[in-house]
Structure 1
Amino acid sequence: MNDQFFRLTLVIYKMSGGGAQRVLSIIANYFAEKGWAITLMTFDDGSQPSFYQLHPSIKCRTLSIMRNQQGLLKTLCMHLLRPFILRSAIRKSKPDVVIAFIDLSNILTLVSTFGLKIPVIVSERVNPAYHSIGIFWSTLRLMVYRWASCLVVQTQDAMSWFSPSIQKISRIISNPIIAVPIVEKKDKSSGENKVIMAMGRLVEQKGFDLLLKAFSRIENQFPNCQLHIWGQGEEKENLLKIRDELGLKERVCFKGMSQDHNYTMGQADIFVLSSRYEGFPNVLGEAMACGLPVISFNCPSGPSEMIIHEKNGLLISSIDEEHLAKGLHRLMEDELWANQLGNEAQKITETYSLEKVMGQWEKLILEIIGNERKN
Structure 2
Amino acid sequence: MTRDIVLVGNEVNELGGVGRWQTSMARLFAERGHRVTVVGVAPPGAPFDLGEDPPFDTLTLHRERPSAPRRTRGLRRLDLAAVRHEALREREMREAAGRLSAVLRARRPGATVIVTQVWAMEWVALADTSGHTVIGMSHESFDTSRGSSRFARIKEHYRDVDRLLLLTREDADRWIGQGFNHVGFMPNPTPLRSPAPSPRTDATVVSIGRLGYEKGVDMLLDTWAEVVPRHPGWRLRIHGAGPDEEALKRQCSELGLDGSVEWAGRTEDVAGALRRSSVFVLSSRGEGFPLAPLEAMSCAVPCVAFDCAPGVREIVRHEEDGLLARPGNVLELARHLDRLLSDAALRDRMGERARENVRRFSPESVTDRWERLFDLLER
Structure 1 and Structure 2 fold alike (TM over 0.5)? yes
Q: What one-letter code is carried by the residue in structure 2 that aligns with 1:77?
A: L
Residue range with higher mean Cα deviation, 178-187 or 231-240: 178-187
TM-superposed deviation, 1:231: 1.2
CA distance in 2, matches of 1:133, 1:116: 33
Which has the higher mean CA deviation after the structures are superposed, 48-57 or 299-308? 48-57
The C-alpha deviation readout for 1:9-29, integer Å capped at 9, x for no partner, is 111111212111222112211
Of the candidates 90, 97, 102, which is equivalent to residue 86 of structure 1? 97
- Pairing of 1:259-278 with structure 2 (within 5 A): 259-278=268-287
Number of residue equivalences: 361
| Alignment partner, residue 115 of structure 2 | 100
User: Offset at 1:310?
Assistant: 1.3
Q: What letter corresponds to residue 54 of structure 2 in structure 1?
A: P
Q: Which runs of 4+ in 1 moved over 6 A?
A: none
**2:190 maps to what in 1?**
177
Aligned partners of 1:165 and 1:254: how far apart in 2?
A: 42
Which amino acid letter does the alignment assign opposite residue 250 of structure 2?
K
Deviation, structure 1 residue 80: 4.3
TM-superposed CA distance for 1:365, in Å, is 2.1
Residues 350 and 182 from structure 1, CA distance in 2 versus in 1: closer, same or farther, beyond 3 angstroms?
Answer: closer
Letter in 1 for 2:207: A
CA 186–165 in structure 1, closer or farther in 2 if over 3 Å, else same: closer
Aligned to 1:32: 30
Provide the rounded CA distance (Å) in 1 between the counterparts of 2:357 and 2:176: 31
* Change in 2 beyond 3 A, CA 1:330/1:104: same
- For structure 2, the 5+ residue unaligned runs are 69-80
Q: 1:208 touches 1:239 (CA, 8 Å); kept in 2?
A: yes
Is 1:161 the counterpart of 2:174? The answer is yes
Asked if the contact 1:203–1:233 (Cα under 8 Å) also holds between the matched residues in 2, the reply is: yes
**Which of 136, 141, 149 is the matching residue for 1:122?**
136
Alignment match, 2:163: 150
Deviation at 1:185, TM superposition (A): 4.7
Quickly say closer, same or farther: Cα 1:238–1:145, change in 2 above 3 A. same
Q: Which amino acid aligns with 1:10?
A: L
Instruction: Give the equivalent residue in structure 1 for 2:359.
Output: 350
Q: Match for residue 306 of structure 1?
A: 315
1:87–1:132 distance in 2 versus 1, CA, 3 Å: farther
With over 3 angstroms needed to count, the CA separation of the structure-2 counterparts of 1:168 and 1:203, relative to structure 1, is same
**Contact kept in structure 2, 1:127 and 1:157, CA below 8 Å:** no
**Counterparts in 2 of 1:37 and 1:123: CA distance versus 1, 3 Å:** same
Q: 1:20 corresponds to which letter in structure 2? A: V
1:98 and 1:231 map into 2 onto residues whose CA distance is: 31
Partner SS state of residue 249, structure 1: coil
The alpha-carbon deviation at position 247 of structure 1 amounts to 1.0
CA gap of 1:154–1:68, structure 2 versus 1, over 3 A, is closer
SS of 1:40's equivalent?
strand
Identity over the aligned pairs, expressed in percent?
A: 24
SS at match of 1:129: helix
Does residue 1:336 correspond to 2:345, yes or no? yes
Matches within 5 A, 1:1-375: 4-14=1-11, 15-45=13-43, 49-53=47-51, 56-64=54-62, 66-67=64-65, 73-74=84-85, 76-93=87-104, 94-95=106-107, 96-109=111-124, 111-113=125-127, 116-131=130-145, 134-135=148-149, 138-164=151-177, 167-177=180-190, 180-183=193-196, 185=198, 188=201, 194-368=203-377, 370-371=378-379
TM-score, with normalisation over the residues of structure 2? 0.87
Structure 1: distance between partners of 2:181 and 2:251: 45
Q: What letter matches 2:130 in structure 1?
A: L
TM-score when normalising by structure 1: 0.88
How far off its partner does 1:200 sit?
A: 0.9
Q: Deviations over 1:166-221 (max 9, x none)?
A: 64211111011255444585572xxx6x1110111111111111110010112121
Distance 1:8 1:66 in 2: 25
On the 8 A contact 2:278/2:347 being kept in 1, the answer is: no
1:222-256 deviation per Cα after TM superposition (whole angstroms, max 9, x unaligned) = 11111011112111112111111101112112211
